A and B are shown apart, each in its own frame.
Chain A
Amino acid sequence: MTTRHEVARAEGRDLRLSRWFDAPRELVFRAWTEPEHMAQWWGPHDFTTPVCELDPRPGGVLLLHMQAPGGAIMPNEGEFHEVDPPALLTFTLRAFPDERGEARLHVLVTAAFAEARGGTELTLKVDVLRAVDMEGPLSGMEQGWSQSLEKLRDLLAAPRGRA
């Protein structure tokens, strides 16, 4: 069943993340484009991905159903745009459907894989195309009060002149 999605005007926000991995970029690229591998790392800790379908070519489908530790299923679906092994991958993802089946979150993910220091530098840009009422859904994905509290401490940590 396909749902009709309206991609609203660009929200204009984007996330940028970089990480270096101690592996050749061909392998990292495979981890992103082969479903049996992607299912092993996608999503937060303790989440599984019982459904993972990837057709890594322009217009090809992505289907990623994550399962939370409590059993709730969170579907992600989208399409690939650019697939340029082992250097570049772009795809759209839609997630968090509302009561009518409309995805609350649409993002465009751009993943660039560069050789660096004997491994791979991954640079990710996540453009937020649509985000409606996102506060609630994500709070369910964070684990435990104690972890949040630790993060709060990190956020607050600052040098201070204690006696």
Chain B
Amino acid sequence: MTSMEARHLDDTFAALADPTRRAILDQLSRGEATVNELAEPFQMSLPAVSRHLKVLERAGLVTRHRRAQFRPCRLEAAPLAEAVGWLERYRRIWEASFDRLDDYLKTMQRENDDDDTP
């Protein structure tokens, strides 16, 4: 890993380390939202929400764009996928195989039982 990649990952993990920021990302995973909409569930001041958004923007997890007079925030999942990394995806492939093995073992046992019936 290069030092640039390491710093990038540091930003991502620092962004995720705060429960409010995680909640903001969770909401954005359901769709774009303005700063007002994001602040509402937390009863938090707009500057406080903006500070959290800046951390998320620096990590590349959130971008903002313009729609009419609004500047909605949008989730960018790619940095998170990088942080999770290929090894975690690979783990999930094994776990999916285990799910299938679990089901298949039941089939194997039913077939064994059928063989045993006189």
Residues of A within 8 A of B (CB): 13, 15, 17, 19, 21-23, 27-28, 30-31, 37, 40-45, 122, 124, 126, 128, 131, 134-135, 138-139, 141-142, 148-149, 151-153, 155-160, 162-163
Contacts and interface: CB of A to CB of B under 8 A. Distances in A.
A27 B97 contact: no
A41 B29 contact: no
24 contacts: A15-B90, A15-B91, A17-B95, A21-B105, A22-B105, A22-B106, A23-B109, A27-B112, A30-B108, A37-B108, A40-B104, A43-B93, A43-B100, A126-B90, A131-B86, A138-B93, A141-B89, A148-B81, A152-B29, A156-B25, A157-B22, A158-B23, A162-B42, A163-B41
B19 A159 contact: yes
Interface string B4-43: 0000000000001001101101100100000000000111
Contacts of B106: 22-23
Given A41-B97, A43-B93, A43-B97, A13 B104 contact: no
Contacts of B20: 160
A88 to B, nearest CB: 17
Interface residues of B, number: 39
Contacts of A142: 89, 92
Contacts of A153: 26, 29
B104 to A, nearest CB: 4
Interface of B: 16, 19-20, 22-23, 25-26, 29, 41-43, 77, 80-81, 84, 86-87, 89-109, 112
Contacts of B108: 23, 27, 30-31, 37
Given A27-B105, A156-B26, A15 B87 contact: yes
A17 B91 contact: yes
Nearest to B100: A41
A122 B102 CA distance: 11
Contacts of A138: 86, 89-90, 93
A148 B94 contact: no
Given A134-B86, A163-B43, A44 B96 contact: yes
B55 to A, nearest CB: 15
